[in-house]
A and B are shown apart, each in its own frame.
Chain A
C-alpha cells in the first residue's frame, strides 16, 4: 500500500518532467485555433500537419537554413574542441615546457569567467577584428574551452607513463606517441567531451545573438528566439513555434538516448570532492 503510493507520487513527478514535451508534441499537430482553445487536450482535433509543411517549405521562417547553420557550427565546434583540448590537455599533463605551470593557472583563472559576462566583450572584439557576421566569429569563440582542456588534462594524467615510454623507445616522436598511443587510451574522456561540446554548441544562443545580425547566419535557437520575441502576442502560430522548438530538441534527445552514459559520466567525472 505504502509502496503503491510511493510509485504514484513518482509517476506524478515523471509526468511533471516529461508532460511539457508530450503536450508540445501533440500541439504540433493541432491547428492554431485548436491549440488556443484546448491547450491540454491530447488529441488534435482536427489533426493537422500544416506546421510541419510550413517548417519544411515556408520561405518566411527559413527553418532549413537555420538547421544547416546549426549543423555546420555544431560540427566545427565539436571537432575543433576535441582537437584543441586534446593537444593542450596533453601538453599540460605530460610534456615539460617552460611556462607550463603559469599557463595552467591561466587556464583555470579564465575558466572562472562567467559566459554571460563575456557577451558584450566578445561582440566588441569580433567587431574590432572584422569577424562580426561571419561563421568564423560564430565558431572560434565557442571552440575556446578552458574546461575541456582541464578535463582532458585530468584524463591524460590517468594514462600509465610506461605506455608512452615504450612508444618513445620504439622511436615514435611526440606527435605519433600522442596520436597513435595516448589518444586512443583516453577515448572515454573524448567521447564525454564530444557529447558535451555537441549539446553545448547545438543549444547555444547568446553567443550567436551578439556575434551576428545578418539573418543568413541564424541558427535554430537564434531564428526561433527572434520569431517568438518578435511576436509576443498570445496564441499566434503556436503550433509552428512549438514545431520549430521540437526540431531543435530532437537531435539532443537522440544523442541523449544514445549516449546517456556519457552525459551521466560527465557529471560523475566533474563531481565532486568538495
Chain B
C-alpha cells in the first residue's frame, strides 16, 4: 500500500470534521464579503460574477480529470460487466451481446470454474488480511512507542530505518523478497543455522492450517474426513475453506507486514506526539508503574488512531496486486490468487472483460461492506 492511499483513507476518516471546517469558512466568507462590498453594490455584483467564473475555471481541470478517469471508467465498466465482450471492438457499438447479470451469477451462484476461482481468491485474501492487518497494526504501535521514547539514542536512525521499506516500490521489494525466500535463499540459510529445513516458500501450496491440524494429529491432511471434504460451500469444500494461507501466501503476508508497519508507525507517532502531556504527568504523579501507564492511559487514548489504522490496513490489504503479479501470479495451485489479480487475469489473459469488470465491482462491494462493518463494530466498541 502506498503512502498516498494511506492519506486517502485518513482524509476520508477525517472528512466529517472537514465539513465542519467548511461551514465556518463559509460563514466567515459571507461576513467578509458583506463588509467589503457594502456601498458599492454594482461593483459587488460584477465581482461576484467574476469570482463565480474564476471558481469554475480554476476547478475545471480537476473536475474534468476526475470525471474522465474515475467517473466515466466506472460507468463504462458497469456497462461492460453486463456484456459478454471479448475486447475486439468497441463495447458501445452494440455488437456485444447483453447478458444482464450473467457475469455476476457466474461468480456468485453458478457452479463452475469462474465461481471456484473467485471463491479461492476471496479465501486467500481473507487469510492474508486477517493475519496482516492485526499484526502490522500491533507492530506499528510497538515501534512507534519505542521510537517515541525521548531517552532513546539514535531515534532518528531507527525511525528512518523502520519507515524506509514503505517508501520503496512494491515491485522492487517483491523482487528482493523473491530472492530472499527462494528455496536456496537467505531466509532458508538463516533457518538452516537453527537446524530448520525451510520450505520452498513461493513453490509451496500447502495450507498452513492444514499442516497445523496434521501436526497436532487432529486431521490427516492427505485424507480429510468426509464431512470436511464432502460439504461444499460457495464452490469450495469446507476443507478447502479451512486451509489457512498457503506457505507461499505467508511469505507475501510477511512482505506486507514488513512494508506497511513503518508507514503506520508514523501515524501512531503523530498521535503519540499529540497526546495531552498533563494526563500523562498526572498518571506519573499518581505513582503508576510504566506498564500501568501504558495499558491504562496511553493505549486507551490511542484507540481512535488504532481504529483508523485498522480501517486503512483493511482497505489496502484487500487491494493487494503488485506483489502478487511479481511473486506468484496466483501460483502455486492458485493459492496466491487475489480478487484484484483475478480481475486482471480474466480480462487480459483470457479476454473475458465482462467477467473481469464484474470481479472489480464485487471487490469494491467487499471493501465497502467490510469497511462499513468494521467502523460500525468499532464505534459500538468505543461507546460501550
Binding site for B on A (CB under 8 A): 7, 10, 13-14, 16-18, 20-21, 23-24, 27, 35-37, 39-40, 83-85, 87-88, 90-100, 103-104, 106-108, 110-125, 128, 140-141, 143-144, 146-147, 149-151, 154, 157, 161, 165, 174-175, 178, 196, 199-200, 202-203, 205-206, 209-210, 221, 224-225, 228-229, 232, 234-235, 238, 241-242, 244-246, 248-249, 252-253, 256, 260, 263-264, 266-274
Per-position 1/0 for B160-172, Cβ under 8 A of A: 1111110111111
Q: Are B357 and A124 in contact (CB under 8 A)?
A: yes
Which segment, of B110-118, B205-213, B261-269, faces chain A? B261-269
Cβ-defined contact, A264 with B266, below 8 A: yes
With A10-B146, A114-B367, A140-B65: A39-B175 Cβ-Cβ less than 8 Å: no
Whether B5 is near chain A, meaning CB under 8 Å from some CB there, is yes
Considering only residues 108-155 of chain B, those with a C-beta below 8 Å from chain A are 143, 146, 152-153
User: What residues on B are CB-neighbors of A35 within 8 Å?
Assistant: 179
Stretch at the interface among B181-189, B214-222, B239-247, B291-299: B181-189
A269 to B266, CA, bound (A): 11
In the docked arrangement, what's the CA distance between A192 and B15, Å? 20
B185 adjacent to A270 (CB under 8 Å): no
| In the bound complex, CA of A88 to CA of B70 (Å) | 16
In the complex, what residue of chain A is closest to B21 when comparing beta carbons?
A157
Known interface pairs A17-B161, A271-B308; A91-B357 also in contact (CB < 8 Å): no
Extra A-B contacts (13), CB below 8 Å, given A14-B157, A161-B32, A246-B172: A14-B162, A17-B165, A27-B179, A39-B189, A96-B52, A100-B55, A120-B343, A123-B347, A203-B2, A263-B163, A271-B267, A272-B10, A272-B267
Q: Are A122 and B73 in contact (CB under 8 A)?
A: yes
Chain B residues positioned under 8 Å from A157 (CB to CB): 21, 25
Q: From residue 23 to 52 of chain B, which have CB atoms closer than 8 A to chain A?
A: 25, 28-29, 32-33, 36, 48, 50-52
A92: chain B residues at CB < 8 Å are 59
Chain A residues contacting B58 (CB-CB under 8 Å) are: 87-88, 90-91, 95, 174, 178
Asked if residues B164 and A256 are in contact (CB atoms below 8 Å), the reply is: yes
Q: Closest approach, in angstroms, between the C-beta of B59 and any C-beta of chain A?
A: 4
Contacts of A103 in B (CB 8 A): 59, 63
B326 touches A228 (CB 8 A): yes
A196–B62 CB distance below 8 A = no
* Chain B interface SS verdict (over half): helix
* Nearest-Cβ distance from residue A52 to partner chain B, whole angstroms: 16
Chain B residue with the shortest CB-CB distance to A164:
B32
Residues in A neighbouring B263, C-beta threshold 8 A: 267
Given contacts A10-B146, A18-B164, A267-B263, contact A84 B80 (CB under 8 A): no
Contact of B186 among A39, A143, A253 (CB under 8 A): A39
Of the listed stretches B98-106, B230-238, B278-286, B317-325, chain A binds B317-325
| Shortest Cβ distance from residue A246 to the other chain B in the assembled complex, whole angstroms | 8
| C-alpha spacing A13/B186, complex, angstroms | 17
Given A96-B48, A228-B178: A196 and B189 interface contact (C-beta under 8 Å): no
Instruction: Output the least CB separation between B15 and chain A (Å).
Output: 6
Shortest distance between the CB of B60 and any CB in chain A (Å): 8
Question: How far apart are the CA atoms of A110 and B55 in the complex, in Å?
Answer: 20
Complex: how many Å from CA A74 to CA B242?
44
Which residues of chain B are within 8 angstroms of A271 by Cβ–Cβ distance? Answer: 10, 266-267, 270-271, 305, 308
Contact B77 A235 (CB under 8 A): no
B194 within 8 A of A: no
Assess whether A125 is in contact with B12, with CB atoms less than 8 Å apart: no
Q: In the bound complex, do residue A266 and residue B2 qualify as a contact, i.e. CB atoms below 8 Å apart?
A: no
Complex interface residues of chain B between 71 and 111 (CB less than 8 A to chain A):
71-74, 76-77, 80, 90-92
CB-nearest residue of chain A relative to B378? A274
Contact of A114 among B53, B170, B319 (CB under 8 A): B319
Task: For A241, list chain B residues within 8 Å (CB).
Answer: 175, 179
Q: Is the CB of B344 within 8 A of A234?
A: no
| Cα separation A228 to B348 with both chains bound (whole Å) | 18
Among B69, B177, B182, B356, which residue has its beta carbon within 8 angstroms of that of A120?
Answer: B356
Query: B307 to chain A: which residues have CB within 8 Å?
Result: 274
CB of A158, distance to nearest CB on chain B (Å)? 10
What are the 5 closest A-B residue pairs judged by CB atoms, nearest first? A97-B55, A274-B304, A88-B62, A121-B73, A121-B77
Specify which chain A residues have a CB less than 8 angstroms from the CB of B178 in the assembled complex.
228
| B190 in contact (CB, < 8 A) | yes
**Which chain B residue lies CB-closest to A268?**
B270
When the two chains form their complex, are residues B13 and A272 in contact, meaning their CB atoms are under 8 A apart?
yes
On chain B, the residues within 8 Å of A209 by CB distance are: 325, 344
Q: Knowing A96-B48, A110-B66, A266-B7, say if A206 contacts B322 (CB, 8 Å).
A: yes
A111 to B71, CA, bound (A): 11
Contact of B169 among A84, A141, A203 (CB under 8 A): A203
Tell me whether A154 and B326 are in contact in the complex, defined as CB-CB below 8 angstroms, given that A120-B77, A196-B3 are known contacts.
no
18 residue pairs from A and B, CB less than 8 Å apart: A7-B153, A16-B258, A17-B161, A37-B184, A39-B186, A99-B56, A125-B76, A147-B11, A196-B7, A205-B171, A228-B326, A232-B329, A256-B167, A267-B3, A267-B6, A270-B11, A273-B14, A274-B304
Q: Check A114–B315 contact: CB distance below 8 A.
A: yes
- For the complex, is B249 an interface residue (Cβ under 8 Å from A)? no
CB within 8 A of B160: which of A121, A123, A149, A260?
A: A260
The residue on A at minimum CB distance from B304 is: A274
Contact with B168, one of A91, A165, A203, A260 (Cβ below 8 angstroms): A203
The answer to whether B2 and A200 touch across the interface, beta carbons within 8 angstroms, is yes
In the bound complex, what is the Cα–Cα distance between A104 and B11 (angstroms)?
Answer: 13
B125 to chain A, nearest CB (A): 11
> What are the residues of chain A within 8 A of B69 when measuring CB–CB?
122, 125, 140-141, 144
Query: In the complex, what residues of B have CB within 8 A of residue A85's CB?
Result: 62
Q: Are B171 and A13 in contact (CB under 8 A)?
A: no
Question: Using Cβ atoms and an 8 Å threshold, which residues of chain A touch B182?
Answer: 39, 234-235
CA distance A37 to B5 in the complex (A): 39
Best-buried of A17, A128, A234, A272 by chain B (most CB within 10 Å): A272
Contact A224 B175, beta carbon cutoff 8 Å:
yes
